[in-house]
Amino acid sequence: MRTMTYVGALNEALHQLLEDDENVILIGQGVTSPWYVGQSCTGLIERFGDRRVIDTPVSENAVTGAAVGAALAGLRPILEHPRLDFMYYAMDPIANHAANWHYMFGDQLSVPLTIWGIVNRGGEQGAQHSQSTHAMYAHLPGLKVVMPSTPFDVKGLLRSCVYENNPVLFVDDRWLYPIKGDVPEDHYSVPIGKGTVRRTGKDVTIVATSFLVHEAAKAAEALAAEGIDVELVDPLTVKPLDSGLIISSVKKTRRLVVVDGGWRSYGAASEIMATIGESAAVGSLAAPMKRITLPDSPAPASRALERYYFKNSEDITREVRKVVGGSK
């Protein structure tokens, strides 16, 4: 084990995958540019050449169509989109083609495509550069959606995505890049569809995704000082959701707060709450469930307004206090 940053673990994963398997290619906008990908692709073009590391023109639809075709032809492409916002341009090849081919051809064809979408919120970038649209893609049949939150998990989940025989959206948040953690040197996989308990507790379950796992962990520390014992669950995969893990936790704590970086309506938080609402755990709830998300409005371009728009540990602490305090 070594201590590595999240972006360092991601870079190591890419190197190992390209080294291990000549069918793995990396294709996308700016994969040779540190500005685009935040050092995550450092050294790849020098080591593997421009036939395996393909820096493309800015044409999301065309590049995604090419990657779908490459996957159908037997390669295992990692398709990089430097801003999840602009994957909207690629919705047709993702939703109508990649997600459907396996079903439409009676399991005779597979699309082993990893769609690496990067979230670049904050920094006064405004409404068109601050969106985490993972819930939209999770709605699509035939497409899995993963959201790693630690250096260990980003390395292991990327390998699992690449060797999944049908398309996976790998949601990568740039706010995670400096976070450090222990990472093995060996090659390993973290299974798709399996969450983890980051912290055990008895008073309330917090389910948090991606970067907000770390904000929830800070909130749990602050709440512990007040005598509130938080259990923190990280689903890691938004679809398929590890519903059993979440249900088991909520049955124990009898309270649920969901924290997600998407918008409030029809989002991942809503789906997690619906999962509890349809399960036996709903009968054990001692308080109404609570979701902490972005408001149903576009992101502001003002740094002062961003502090209110994007959620943090203080928001989580305040809302958990209400859920627990109102039911004790």
Q: What's the whole-number average pLDDT of the chain? A: 95
Instruction: Report the percentage of the chain scoring pLDDT > 90.
Output: 88
Cα–Cα distance for residue pair 55/33, rounded to 1 Å: 9
pLDDT value, residue 328: 56
Angle separating helix axes 151-162 and 6-20, nearest 10 degrees: 30
Q: What is the distance of C-alpha 54 from the center of its chain?
A: 24
Taking only the tens place, the pLDDT of each residue in 4-44 is 999 999 999 999 999 999 999 999 999 988 777 889 999 99
Written as six digits, the tokens of 265 are 């309506």
Q: Which amino acid is at 182?
A: D
pLDDT value, residue 128: 81
Nearest alpha carbon to residue 323 among 259, 267, 270, 263: 259
What mean pLDDT is predicted for residues 110-130?
89
Domains of the chain (ranges, CATH numbers): 2-183 (3.40.50.970), 196-325 (3.40.50.920)
pLDDT value, residue 1: 86
Written as six digits, the tokens of 305 are 């307004």
The pLDDT confidence band at residue 288, using thresholds 50, 70 and 90, is very high
The residues pairing with 80 across neighbouring beta strands, listed in sequence order, are 28, 116
Task: Say yes or no to pLDDT of 125 above 90.
Answer: no
Q: What is the DSSP string of 133-202?
A: -HHHHHTSTT-EEE---SHHHHHHHHHHHHTSSS-EEEEEEGGGTT-EEEE-SS-----TT--EEEE--S
What mean pLDDT is predicted for residues 251-263?
97
The residues pairing with 208 across neighbouring beta strands, listed in sequence order, are 259
Cα–Cα distance for residue pair 129/309, rounded to 1 Å: 14
Which residues are designated catalytic?
Answer: 129
What mean pLDDT is predicted for residues 191-195?
98
Task: Say yes or no to pLDDT of 222 above 80.
Answer: yes
Whole-prediction pTM = 0.95
What mean pLDDT is predicted for residues 316-326?
93
Task: Say yes or no to pLDDT of 232 above 80.
Answer: yes
